[in-house]
Every structure is written in C-alpha cells, then in structure tokens.
Structure 1
C-alpha cells in the first residue's frame, strides 16, 4: 500500500468518524431540545392555562424550530426536531407534566397522583395595605412599572408578575396583560428552596441529620461515603456534575432525557472532597429529593408530603411540584405557583419558619438556610442565594432564584418580601439587585 493510499484511508476514517460523532451529537441535541419544548408547552398549557400561540412566541426562543403537536383531549404534547428526537410530555392532575422517559406512557399514567384536599385553609392570610403606610407608594409604583416596560426590543424583560409584601401586608401587585393573579408560573431553580423546606421538615421530624453522611446505600462503599446532607444542601459535595444548559450535559440529560433525575445524579463521581470546592449543581438538589423520597414507605405518602406539611399550611393552593417519570419530584427545577403563593413561601422564611402561630420549620432553620457557604464567593447559602459582595445590597437578604429572572427576595431587616416572575431570555438584561435596592429605597 502506497503512502498516498494510506493517507487517504486515514483521512476517510477521520471523516467518517467525525460524521458519526456529529450525527450522534445532533441526535442528542434534538432529543434534549424536543424534550424541552414538549415539557414547556405541556406545563404552560395544562398547569398555567396559557394558550399555545403565546407559549410558542415567548417560551420557545431557545428551541424555536421544533415540530410540536398538542393533544388537548389526552392532555399531552409531542415534539421533534426535523424528524429527530421525538419526545412526549403528559399532564396528570395534581402532578403537572412529566416527560415520558425510559417508561411507557401507560406505565406513567398508572402511577399514583396527589391532589391537595378541597378543605385547604389559608391559615395566615396575606392582607392588603393599599395605603402602603411607611412607603413612598408613588415611587414604588414607578419602580415596578419600569420593569414591565420594554424599552429595547433587543433587551427583552418580559416581566409577568411582581408582588411586594411589607410587614406581612401586600403593598404592591402587578401582572402582565396575558397573566392573571391566579396563573401558576414556573419558578425554575426557585424550586431548590422548596426542597430546602422539605429537608427542614424532615430534620424537624428527626429523620435526617445534616451533619451525618447522606443516607444513600449507593455511596457507602466508595469515596462518596463522607458526603453529608449539609454538603449537598450547600452545593459543596465535590461531585463531578456538569451544569451547562447550552449543550447536552449532565444537567440537560438529567432534566430532559432520564426516567429519574435524582437516580441519574447519584451516579456522579467525586472530583473533590466535601467542602473543598463550591460548585452549583442541580444534580445535588435532585439527590436531596431522592433522599426525601426514601424516608417514606409509600409513594403516595411522599407525594403528599410537601402538600400536607407545607403548601396546605400556607394556603398555597396553586402549588404544583412536577415529578420525573420515576415519580420523584424534580426538586431542582419544576414547581409552579401563583405570584401570591410564591410570596407566601418567602413570608414563611421572613417569619423564621412560623405561620399563623405554628412553627412549620425547625427553630434555627432559616438562619442555617441563609448562612454563607465557604468558597461560594459570598453568593450562596443552603439552597438559597445571598449577596455579600455588593455591600450596597441588604446584607441579611437571601433569595430563591431561578432561570429567566425568577426571584423571591427575603429581607428580614426591612420586613420585606419581593417576588418577580418573568421570562427574560437574557438575564443580564434584568438587574435584580438594582430592582430590589430601588424598592428598599421607597421604604420611609
């Protein structure tokens, strides 16, 4: 064989290999993209009650080219990208929408569900204070109206709802034209803070000890055996998990292509010792949900747990936590609630975990949840964010934050809770810190 022919064979082999790799990557991307669209459309239609055209125009900017089919009778949504990666999400009452991953639709529909009882009470109601005593109401309204204003078509804000509570009373509330007060909206990673509350309830029950190794049989015989529940709460587990949403990664595979999000994340290997580094990871939150589920002998008891012990107590009637195909809540990302119900969640933490005279969260839990995590550069606590680098920002504030500019900001020193929900494609265009500081400045 001549050298020329050998060279040609090598070039051909590289080309074929590159083509195969590229095709495989394209298929993976198509699967994740179509799953994202199917899940998004399903939840926005059947949980939020929005129409398809507005969802397509506003939500699907990341993957705008999918072929989407909606079955209103079966309450399901299918999507594919140029015939590749066909995915399907189905709606189930009380559970929202779930992707049909590694399971049949029939198996998924046969799983147990949970719906909050009709006799749900609101406990401590959020009362309105239209006069907003102690607040410059004119300036407050101006600040809020400003973030509903689209000044630059290249810097879309798309704010959908704002709630401001001061001293437990509603002093400001505004919605986008296509959003109603009763519209449940996705919190994305604000759901992590709800997982924080669920862990807190189990700590209160004596079922989980934060300082002990995470109760996971899968880790008992390898170098992950020393990872504590506290390390998971603080994103300091040392696990190797890629949090990248611009391509097929651990995060996108976990959320959109696997049957069990927590089960997938459990397979992550250790890349550092616990607390050696801080690394934001949705995988660790879903591992926490896996731990939570294992505290209940019955699946139905697990599904009922956040509703009976948290949402029902606060009167969060709209709250929908969505599970994956294994039946475990996707505690990192998928919870819907109205703006008022998200505000109630923030108010619970403002009140040190006490609601209507009843201690819901254990004593000291809120302080723990808001305390700074080492190596986080002053920005993270325990499934809540903080802002210790910007000294002009309230230093006792802590926040539930989510993709596309979702936020519940709790400021104990000001007795203030600020909720902002929206669909901001580029979060750099919404300066949440400045927005909150402007609201604080309206307090007299």
Structure 2
C-alpha cells in the first residue's frame, strides 16, 4: 500500500509540474484555434468542421475545441480551459479579444472600390485570355503541377496557378477550393505591407533611408535605426520568432491588443545591419509607423485599398486588423489565388499596372537585392534565390512567402508568376523540383 501511495504521489507531482509549465500554452492554443476558426469561416466561408479537421489539425492546436458561436464571435477552449473569444468586424476581419476590449468602440471601416471593366484577367474580371504559346512545353507544365497535386497527404497543396506573359496557362484547385476561395497568406502579407512604403516613397511622402520615426527611440541607441533597416529585418532589435513556444511572436499574435508596440518596446542587441533576424514584430511595427503617416485612422485604413489592393483589382483581399485597429501586416492578409497572382504580376511589371505606375521601377530592384548577413535568401520583406538555394531555378527568382507554404514566385527571366497555396511547406513541398520543372518547360 505504501508503494502504491508513493507511486500515486509521484504521478500527481509530475502531473502538477506538467500542468504548471503547459497551462500558459493553453492561452495560445485556444487563441490560435479561435482566431483561425473565425477568420476561415467568416472570411473564406468554409465550414467549421473542415477547418477543425484540416487547418487546425496540427500538434497542440488540435486539442482545442469550438466552444461557442454567437453571431460573428467564436470561442474555442481546451477541455473547457482557457477559453478565447474572437470577434469579427466589418472590413477589418477577425481579432482575438484581449483584456480591456470595449465593444462599444467602433473603428473606421475601409472604403473599398470594385474594379469594373470589360478586360480579361489580370486587368479585369471578365474571364481569361485563351492563348497557346509555341515556346511552352505544356506537358512539362502539367507534369510539374500533377507532381504537387497528386500526393496531397505529403505535399498538401490546395491551389496552383501559373501565369506567363499575363496569361493563365495552368490553374488547379483541390475539392473544396475554387477561384473564389480566399486564402490566408500568413507572412505573404508582409510583402503587401512593405509595398505600401514603396508607394509612399514614390509619392514623395517618405524616404526609406531616413531614421524610423519612433519618438521613444530618439534619445537612445535605437535612434539610428532606419526604415530600410526595418524593411530588411536588420534593425538589431531583440526578437524571438518561435511558434512552438511562448515567444515574442506568439505573445504578440495571441495576447496583444496593440501589436506594433511589441517590437517598438524591444531593446537593441546589435547595431543596425550587424545581424539579420526575421521578425514578425518588425512588420507590425512598420504597420504602426504607417498609421502615423496619416492624420486620421480612416485615412490609414483606406490607404492600402485605395493605392494598391483595389487599384489592381485585388478586390477579394482583406487585411485583418488587431483589436486596436492596426493592420496585422505580419500575418493576416486574405485573397483568392488569382488576386495573390495579381500582386506577383505587379512586381513582374516593376510597379506598372495597365499603364499606371504605383511605385518606382527601382523599388523592385530594392526589395530583391540581398540583405547583408541573410546568406542571399532575403531582400526587403521578400525572399530570394540570389544565393542559389534552389539550384534548378533561375537566380533572379524572388518570392512572397507565408507559413505552411503559401507562396507567390516571381521569375522575371521567364516572364513567369507562380502561386502555390496549401498546408505543407519545405521539405514536404519540393520547391526546387516544382519551379525547376516549370522553368524548364518555358524556352
């Protein structure tokens, strides 16, 4: 009996230790599940069961359960512990409710405009151009696409689009997804946020080489950090980007009401350009700095749509905001596969959209120029192949990357834009093989 009691005591102690160290994680598990359920349902119009069985079916997150739905509010919890509620707001997407949330405060809603003309994709929404190019090996294109779609259990590809010279030469969707399904771009949103700086610079309203206009930095070593340093993730500010633990990024995304403040309040651990450190907090800081460029909150929420998103007909796109009304530029942009492709085409055409210049052609060179200490894989909020990471892919390829393999690949030397979305990323999704085969099929 004594042995049994001792064993039971040891088990209880171990269980207590496990609960003590893992209970805080329940906040993030419930938070992720709640936010993803709400956004995927109300923005992408997918069924809760589909989201739970697929998108939320990942380690730890799958422990969470849908607890309650009230209107457009969604609550998830883990065995009824640590419930987290998400609220969805017109034009601003969905956001986790944090301490101090006041439902009576109404944030401005972005004023949208819908592109209406009789032009085909990409400059309009009246169908697609039907063309055959003699320099394209269509069997090679089809084989490359079949290679990433046929093995869903491994590569988990959902949508694929290949565009050559503004023509859609391949477009495929798995069951449950279509050309009208919005896709969460995750960190692809970073590139959209950065583009707003290129537009402002082209309009003569800022200079990215100037010091970041952060008042709290003016009297310490952070005063030398420039907008360029932030765009290149080389500010030297402290940041931990670890999604498997309670880290800076998970606390920001699932606990903070005002996300730009998190990176803003971090200390410098190195001089600017000394280190390269990927940071979602940096992008949200840039979102906060962007907000300060306008006199009113209404102007801030209108700007991305009026000067970029709706201007190129990405009418499906929604940039979600945090509870305080800041765009979560690090992670929460939604758009259809075709509209993500339009963003890639804007860069392929060096900022020119149907004879309208949105940003300077040189901005394309800027974002695709390797950042010091990034080993040639990162530019300014865009990913690169400059260092030959993908040996069978042209070196001039640069891309818009997001969690779980959301990608927009831009290959200027092939006049090519490729979009791939899904739930599996490298090494499950073989980027080199896929893009290498597509590139080889175009002579």
Query: TM-score normalised to the size of structure 1?
Result: 0.91
Give the aligned partner of residue 6 of structure 2: none
Q: Deviations over 1:357-380 (max 9, x none)?
A: 010012311110100101101100
Distance 1:30-1:120 versus aligned 2 partners, 3 A rule: farther
Tell me by how many angstroms 1:229 deviates. Answer: 0.5
Give the aligned partner of residue 85 of structure 1: 82
CA distance in 1, matches of 2:50, 2:208: 43
Tell me by how many angstroms 1:93 deviates. Answer: 2.4
1:42 and 2:38 correspond: yes
Give the aligned partner of residue 101 of structure 1: 98
Tell me by how many angstroms 1:427 deviates. Answer: 3.4
CA distance in 2, matches of 1:120, 1:255: 36
Find the partner of 2:113 among 111, 117, 124: 117
CA distance in 2, matches of 1:356, 1:56: 41
Superposition pairs for residues 37-436 of structure 1, below 5 Å?
37-62=33-58, 63-71=61-69, 74-104=71-101, 106-107=103-104, 110-118=106-114, 124-125=123-124, 127-150=128-151, 153=153, 155=154, 157-387=155-385, 388-390=387-389, 391-424=391-424, 427-436=426-435
Tell me by how many angstroms 1:415 deviates. Answer: 0.5
Q: Deviations over 1:391-440 (max 9, x none)?
A: 4321111100111011100011110000001112x532001222111111
Q: Contact between 1:286 and 1:332, CA under 8 Å: does it hold in 2? A: yes
Tell me by how many angstroms 1:134 deviates. Answer: 2.2
CA distance in 2, matches of 1:419, 1:280: 23
SS in 2 for 1:307: helix
CA distance in 2, matches of 1:107, 1:259: 16
CA distance in 1, matches of 2:306, 2:347: 18
RMSD: 2.1
Q: Contact between 2:197 and 2:208, CA under 8 Å: does it hold in 1? A: no
Give the aligned partner of residue 440 of structure 2: 441
- Specify every segment of 5 or more residues in structure 1 that has no aligned partner in the other structure, as ranges: 1-14
Tell me by how many angstroms 1:112 deviates. Answer: 1.9
CA distance in 1, matches of 2:158, 2:25: 29
SS in 1 for 2:293: coil
Tell me by how many angstroms 1:280 deviates. Answer: 0.8
Q: Deviations over 1:311-339 (max 9, x none)?
A: 11111110000011110000011000000
CA distance in 2, matches of 1:285, 1:89: 22
CA distance in 1, matches of 2:47, 2:30: 19
SS in 1 for 2:277: coil
Distance 1:299-1:21 versus aligned 2 partners, 3 A rule: farther
Q: Contact between 1:112 and 1:300, CA under 8 Å: does it hold in 2? A: yes
Tell me by how many angstroms 1:19 deviates. Answer: 9.0
- Specify every segment of 5 or more residues in structure 2 that has no aligned partner in the other structure, as ranges: 1-11
Q: Contact between 1:210 and 1:229, CA under 8 Å: does it hold in 2? A: yes
Q: Deviations over 1:85-104 (max 9, x none)?
A: 22111122222111112332
SS in 2 for 1:277: coil
